Chains A and B, each alone.
Chain A
Amino acid sequence: MFYIIGGVAVLSALIMVTNKKPVSAAMSLIVTMLCLSGMYVILDAHLIAALQIIVYAGAIMVLFLFVIMLLNIQEKEGRLSGHKIFLQFAWIMLVGYVFISMVKLIGGDSLPARVEGSINGFGTTKAVGEILFTDFLLPFEIASILLLAAIVGAVILAKAKVD
Chain B
Amino acid sequence: MSAPSQPPKPVLSASSHDVRYFAALLRGVSFSNRATIYLASNGFNVSVQEGKTITGTAFVSDHVFDEYQYNDEGFLPASQDSDSAPALGFEIRLNTLLECLNIFGTAGTASLSSNSKSKKQRRNDHDGDSDENNRHGPLDKYFTANTGGTGMRMSYAGPGHPLTLILAESSSGPTATCELTTFDPEGPVEIEFAQNTVNMHIILKSSWLRDALSELDPSCEKLTFVCTPAPQGNNASRTPLFRILAEGMFGSTEMDYPNDREVLETFICTQPVKFTYRFSHIAKSTRALQASLKTSMRTDDFGTLSMQFMMPSGRGRDDDGILFVEFRCLPLDDQV
A pairs with B: no
A: residues with CB less than 8 A from B are none
